[in-house]
A and B are shown apart, each in its own frame.
Chain A
Amino acid sequence: MAQATPLELARLLTAGDPAAHEAAWTEFVRAHSRLLLHAARVIGRDYDAAMDAYAYVLEQLRADDHRRLRAYAADGRSKFTTWLVVVARRLCLDHHRQRYGRARDPGNPATEARAVRRRLADLVAEEIDPVEIQAPNNAAPDAGLEVVELSVALASALGELAPRDRLLLALRFEDDHSAREIARLMGFPTPFHVYRRLRTVLTALRLALGGRGVDGANPQ
């Protein structure tokens, strides 16, 4: 069911003469400036960067007869404020990249290897000492191959999980989010429900890995 279009948005998109349009734009900005500023501050760490991003967002929301805002009216599945924050954040990122380039590291093998070892330590045996899990570049010649085999077994077992459970594991073990935050993101009633689901999923994974000959962080 489509969400109701906010009044200030409806007025803006249907305003006829220029004076009415300006008045509607003023009302729209007044209603949502704080939200847009908050979104700008997430990307722009200092005051000037945030204000520059904010101005850019307003400029882009106004551009092409409010083309971006009209996209919400066409979609309308979510609350307007939620949708607006998503769009504003993306615009702020675009602005930031135009000025400073792409800052985020797309990832590197060492980070991925650490994530794999952490996942295995958590998934297979809670009491495993992470020190026992050898890093590939420090270990015996076969260690690199064993890590690869473990990665393959893990990837295979993960592939059998439901998408929601895979997302749960990614948020918990790759992104290190708290149960409280995961509950808010995924719509679990409480953090307790997150822990309970994690336990269920990890049990299923242990069984799946056991079926692939993986009983510990160091394969047999």
Chain B
Amino acid sequence: MRTDQPFRSHLEAGDVAAYLDLKLSADDRSRVEVHLAECAECRRELVEVRRVLGNLPRFRRWHLLVPAAAAAAALFVILGPPERDRRPAPVGRERGPRGTERAALIAVVEPGVGAAVAPGPVVFTWRGVGTGATYRLTVTDERGDVVWSANTADTMATLPARIGLERGRRYAWYLDALLPDGRSVTSGVRAFVVAR
């Protein structure tokens, strides 16, 4: 039993997960239910975990791109969809299983994939994903270390002059949007190079 309060123990993560997946033996299930009946905190955990799992959109794995948010999670990934899916998707939509569409990708305008940008402040533009959306723009170097990030409600952002990008070097940028209803969408990672 996990303990985070004096004289009070909680369920182990494995017990909670196995209970939700209906994978406990009868004895273990009874033990867990005895605890849950008395522990509001563990019940709350049960409910919240079930809700997260129930609300998770289903996507093919190759559509999952990673918005790294800190040095500990620095990543530099470029993914491209299979050739047959390189048709441009409608703005703010992506193709899911069997041709279904889901709102999951932000359509970027510039700089596009592999673009060479002129030295100086870089202007990032993209298409909006809906009223009330807020965006977080992140620029990283080749190693995935964050060079600059900013929050905006606009669909454009300019790299400040104080952020000097090196000529000839490759950088990446991506967007994450938070919609008023709590859903999130991302742009995927786009690489660009600063011209010499």
- Do B52 and A39 touch (CB < 8 A)? yes
- Do B34 and A163 touch (CB < 8 A)? yes
Contact of B53 among A81, A166, A174, A181 (CB under 8 A): A81
B interface residue count range (under 10 / 10 to 19 / 20 to 34 / 35 or more) = 35 or more
B1 within 8 A of A: no
Which residues of chain A from 157 to 211 have any CB-CB distance to chain B below 8 Å in the complex? 162-164, 166-167, 169-171, 174-175, 177, 181, 184-185, 187
Q: Give the total of A residues in contact with B, Cβ under 8 Å.
A: 54
- Do A89 and B54 touch (CB < 8 A)? no
Q: Kindly state the separation between the CA atoms of A166 and B67 in the bound complex, as whole angstroms.
A: 43
Q: In chain A, what residue has the closest Cβ to B12? A: A75
Distance in Å: Cβ of B125 to nearest Cβ of chain A: 20
Distance in Å: Cβ of B126 to nearest Cβ of chain A: 16
A218 within 8 A of B: no
A96 within 8 A of B: no
Assuming the contacts A78-B20, A83-B13, asked whether A170 and B72 have C-beta atoms less than 8 A apart, the reply is no
- State the majority secondary structure of interface residues on A: helix
Q: Kindly state the separation between the CA atoms of A52 and B136 in the bound complex, as whole angstroms.
A: 13
Interface string of B51-85 (1 = CB under 8 A from A): 11111110101001111111011010100000000
A87 within 8 A of B: yes
Q: Kindly state the separation between the CA atoms of A42 and B44 in the bound complex, as whole angstroms.
A: 12
B24 within 8 A of A: yes
A30 within 8 A of B: yes
A212 within 8 A of B: no
Distance in Å: Cβ of B152 to nearest Cβ of chain A: 11
- 4 further interface pairs, Cβ-Cβ under 8 Å (given A39-B52, A185-B47): A30-B64, A55-B70, A162-B30, A187-B22
Task: Using CB atoms and an 8 Å cutoff, list the residues of chain B in contact with chain A.
Answer: 13-14, 16-18, 20-24, 29-30, 33-34, 36-38, 40-41, 43-57, 59, 61, 64-70, 72-73, 75, 77, 134, 136, 151, 176, 178, 182, 184
* Listed A/B pairs (13) with beta-carbon separation below 8 Å: A29-B73, A34-B59, A38-B52, A38-B55, A51-B67, A51-B69, A78-B17, A79-B17, A83-B14, A162-B30, A163-B37, A167-B33, A171-B43
